[in-house]
Amino acid sequence: MPLVLGVDSAATATTAEFRDADTGQVFASGMARHPAGGPHADEEPSVWWQALVDARGEAGGALGVAAMSVAAPPKGLVLLDQSQQVLRPAIRARAADRDIAGLLDALGGRQDWVVATGAVPTATTPIAQLAWLHRSDRKEWERIASVLTAGSWLTHRLSRAFVTDRGDASWTGYWSPRENQWRVDLLAFIDESKDWGMCLPHLRGPQEHAGDRQGVVIAPGTGDAMAAALGLGLQPGDVVIALDQDARVFTLRERPTEDPTGVVAGLADATGRYLPCVRVADGMTVVSAVARLMGIADPKRFDQLALRAPAGAGGVTVLPEFTRDGRPSDLAHRGMIVGLGADVSAEQLARATVEGLVCRLLEAVDGLRRADVPVGGRLFLTGAGARSRAVRHVMADIAERPIIVAPGNWVAAGAAVQAAAVLQDRPPADVAGAWHLTPVNELEPDTAGDGSRVRAQFRAARAIPSGSATTS
């Protein structure tokens, strides 16, 4: 019975799962939390490595595995020098507006970037962070020999090889989903003298080895959303709402997505297909912030209050705009509570909070639809949101469609799928199908939920000028 190890190196913790390579059965799992830090504070990559070691140790470090894979979000850019040593803490800083503007102008504009890379650079896109570093620290810049994402650096630590996959590469802003290759010409906008082809990892296919570590096959790894798609057995048209402190809404499709509005990032998946994605800055932070203001420490208590109020919360609407791209909103973009009065109950406010969050997430689904992305398949709810009874029920009711509630770590599961696919030289979809991982816990909407009315109430509140409502 060969075992594979799937690792989810998330923003705040690392999870490791040992699974049977043939059946997918979980043999053991472990988790290690990362030291607390700000959402954009630079972080030593050694923290991620130590958490991987600790999570594997908690799961049973002595257990032998035949293959392993690491999945990670775009949580920091790792720079190495000629001796393959980390130059500085991983870059999580926000690029300045002028860095982004310079990149946009260099290529021609937003539409040109969408065609080239599937997305418009933002303050936390790696190519924009590189532009920021080039402007702010030229001495350090000259020492750069390798540029890696968090996931590809961890894979390098395991295999000593510089490799990645197309899913992880598609976060960077210098890789083309359509051409399936690095766009070193875009990096030349920052510094045309650097040999970028030598700085970037080699791309590996979904069944190709990255290398090995003491006889253990190392898979190329991938991004966290891409791994979750593998674990869930996503099919084209299925939609995942991955709801944690922030949220991402993504689906699978057969061709690239190029959204000129910039709302949808046209990413790649880990199998050769594509993964259009919308990021929502405010996720369960909305619920926890309002619960704190109400003096409610127990999430279950908040859920109970929310579910006692009727749909529409008696006309109260919460517009969850607490942050913009991960930073506190300025006064012109604050969230609002509309319809607040002396007679509003705690139940109504709790319900309005959950409804506002759900409406915002469903707007992200609408964003996919407007970008001509098919979204008529199954609707999955994962992450911390899947553990909230109120979020689950309100989501089904307002969406007016069944949702598949999928708690658990699907990123680690998908990483294990990739490890088994490389070990057995099988397509990842075949492995996932043989493992029967796709959840079937379907929640039907309440036919009296009146989701269309709640969404119309949310849109009407959005149209009110911020000075005319109670701001959050």
Q: Which residues are catalytic?
A: 224
CA dihedral 421, 425, 428, 433 (to 10 degrees): -90
Residues 6+ apart with CB under 8 A from 413: 6, 17, 19, 24, 227, 230, 231, 437
CA Rg, the chain, in Å? 22
Neighbours of 340 (CB within 10 A): 17
Contact between 253 and 376 under an 8 Å Cβ cutoff? The reply is no
CB 129 within 8 A of CB 93: yes
Please report, as a single letter, which amino acid is at residue 97. D
| C-alpha separations of 127 from 92, 132, 170, 181, 301 in Å | 12, 9, 11, 15, 44
Q: Which residues on adjacent β-strands are paired with residue 213?
A: 216
- CB 113 within 8 Å of CB 121: yes
In sequence order, the β-bridge partners of residue 324 are 327
What is d(CA 146, CA 198) in angstroms, rounded to the nearest whole number? 7
DSSP 79-137: EE-TTS-B-SSBB-PPPPHHHHHHHHHHHTSHHHHHHHHSS---TTSHHHHHHHHHHH-
- Per-residue burial over 136-145, b if 16 or more Cβ lie within 10 Å, else e, is eeeeebeebb
With contact defined as beta carbons under 8 Å apart, do 380 and 440 qualify?
no
